[in-house]
């Protein structure tokens, strides 16, 4: 019985492959459409896609075009070819805005761009593009069943951008150990980060490392710049204390502040 089962299975597979190859070579668009639909429904998206690609031009303006273009676009999504699914699904929604599949298509188009977003350490062009596409979807379908998921995806992408910006600023702080001029770059980067991401989960760390950068810049400055820089750094300490007096970083922040006060008193003694 086992052998018979395998023989039948192989025979069906060979028959299926043969039917697919015949359809690929056929000039009959209806044959390609029907077999492509069967393959799509069976989850064989790559084969369905190959057949659909051959007949898309021939079906433009025909009643079956909407169904064909939806399956064609979705086959790319299921194949995880997100570059093409993003484009084709958006194109479907534009071509058939009144379709019952239009909302889903535009959401999955935006989600395709989300899937292309790289890790935070890489250049974030795709991340910004994904946020834009998701926001356009939300604006177009504010009552969508996909609204919660779309907002969740935007939140993830925003966090990625925040981490990218934070890590760049932190890197300036780290490399400044070897090149003191980078402390100024770190301070500026943290200032920009805090301005652009006021509610970030990295806010506490950003404020602390901004203080640390300003502290190191101040205490290691030449005399004619030291007093001014100490004042700026102590201002950063007061800001950190106001918001994060219970922080795990606070003892170190207080230590830096005490050191800066001692340095500043030298100027008061001179005057």
Is the pLDDT assigned to residue 247 strictly greater than 50? yes
Q: 131-152 burial, b if ≥16 CB within 10 A, otherwise e?
A: bebbeebbeebeebebeeebee
Q: Rounded to the nearest 5 degrees, what angle is found at the Cα of 207, between the Cα atoms of 206 and 212?
A: 95
Closest by CA position to 209, among listed 159, 256, 246: 256
Contacts 24+ apart (CB under 8 A), 194-197: 196/165, 197/162, 197/165, 197/166
Read off the pLDDT band of 167 (50, 70, 90).
very high
Per residue in 8-22, pLDDT tens?
Answer: 444 444 455 689 999
How far apart CA 56 and CA 46 sit, in angstroms, is 15
Is the pLDDT assigned to residue 3 strictly greater than 60? no
Q: 169-191 burial, b if ≥16 CB within 10 A, otherwise e?
A: bbebbeebeeeeebbebbbebbe
Q: What is the pLDDT of residue 122?
A: 95
Read off the pLDDT band of 211 (50, 70, 90).
very high
Read off the pLDDT band of 249 (50, 70, 90).
very high
pTM of this prediction exceeds 0.85: no
Say which residues have a Cβ less than 8 Å from residue 227's Cβ, sequence separation at least 6: 264, 267
Is the pLDDT assigned to residue 223 strictly greater than 50? yes
Q: Which two tokens stand for residue 75?
A: 């086959």
Q: What is the CA radius of gyration of the chain?
A: 30
How far apart CA 170 and CA 208 sit, in angstroms, is 11
Residue 63 is classified by DSSP as T
Q: In the chain, which residue ranges form alpha helices assigned H by DSSP?
A: 2-25, 29-41, 45-59, 65-78, 82-95, 102-115, 125-140, 147-175, 182-196, 203-219, 223-244, 250-270
Q: What is the pLDDT of residue 259?
A: 96
- Asked if residues 82 and 112 have their Cβ atoms less than 8 Å apart, the reply is yes
- Asked if residues 131 and 154 have their Cβ atoms less than 8 Å apart, the reply is yes
Q: What is the pLDDT of residue 271?
A: 56
Closest by CA position to 106, among listed 63, 139, 67, 152: 139
Per residue in 70-126, pLDDT tens?
Answer: 999 999 999 999 999 999 999 999 999 999 999 999 999 999 999 999 999 999 999
Per residue in 179-189, pLDDT tens?
Answer: 556 899 999 99
Read off the pLDDT band of 176 (50, 70, 90).
low
Is the pLDDT assigned to residue 262 strictly greater than 80? yes
Per residue in 35-55, pLDDT tens?
Answer: 999 999 999 999 999 999 999
Q: What is the pLDDT of residue 178?
A: 55
- Asked if residues 108 and 137 have their Cβ atoms less than 8 Å apart, the reply is no
Q: What is the pLDDT of residue 181?
A: 63
Share above pLDDT 70 across residues of the chain, in percent, rounded to a whole number = 90
| Mean of per-residue pLDDT scores for the chain | 91
Q: What is the pLDDT of residue 266?
A: 84
Is the pLDDT assigned to residue 242 strictly greater than 80? yes
Is the pLDDT assigned to residue 7 strictly greater than 50? no
């Amino acid at each position: 019985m086992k052998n018979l089962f395998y023989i039948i299975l192989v025979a069906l597979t060979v028959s299926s492959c043969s039917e697919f190859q015949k359809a690929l070579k056929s000039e009959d668009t209806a044959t390609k459409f029907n077999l492509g639909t069967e393959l799509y429904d069976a989850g064989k998206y790559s084969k369905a896609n190959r057949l659909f690609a051959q007949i898309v031009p021939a079906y433009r303006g025909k009643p079956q075009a909407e169904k064909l273009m939806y399956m064609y676009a979705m086959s790319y999504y299921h194949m995880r070819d997100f570059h093409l699914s993003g484009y084709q699904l958006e194109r479907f929604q534009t071509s058939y805005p009144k379709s019952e599949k239009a909302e889903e298509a535009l959401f999955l188009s935006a989600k395709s761009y989300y899937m292309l977003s790289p890790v935070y350490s890489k250049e974030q062009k795709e991340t910004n593009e994904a946020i834009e596409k998701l926001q356009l979807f939300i604006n177009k379908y504010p009552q969508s069943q996909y609204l919660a998921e779309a907002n969740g995806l935007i939140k993830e992408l925003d966090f990625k951008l925040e981490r990218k910006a934070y890590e760049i600023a932190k890197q300036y702080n780290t490399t400044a150990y070897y090149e003191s001029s980078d402390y100024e770059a770190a301070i500026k980067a943290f200032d920009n980060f805090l301005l652009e991401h006021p509610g970030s989960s990295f806010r506490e760390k950003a404020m602390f490392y901004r203080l640390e950068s300003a502290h190191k810049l101040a205490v290691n400055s030449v005399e004619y710049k030291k007093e001014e820089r100490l004042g700026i750094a102590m201002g950063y300490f007061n800001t950190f204390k106001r918001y994060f007096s219970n922080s795990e970083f606070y003892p170190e922040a207080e230590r830096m502040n005490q050191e800066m006060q001692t340095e500043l008193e030298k100027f008061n003694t001179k005057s």
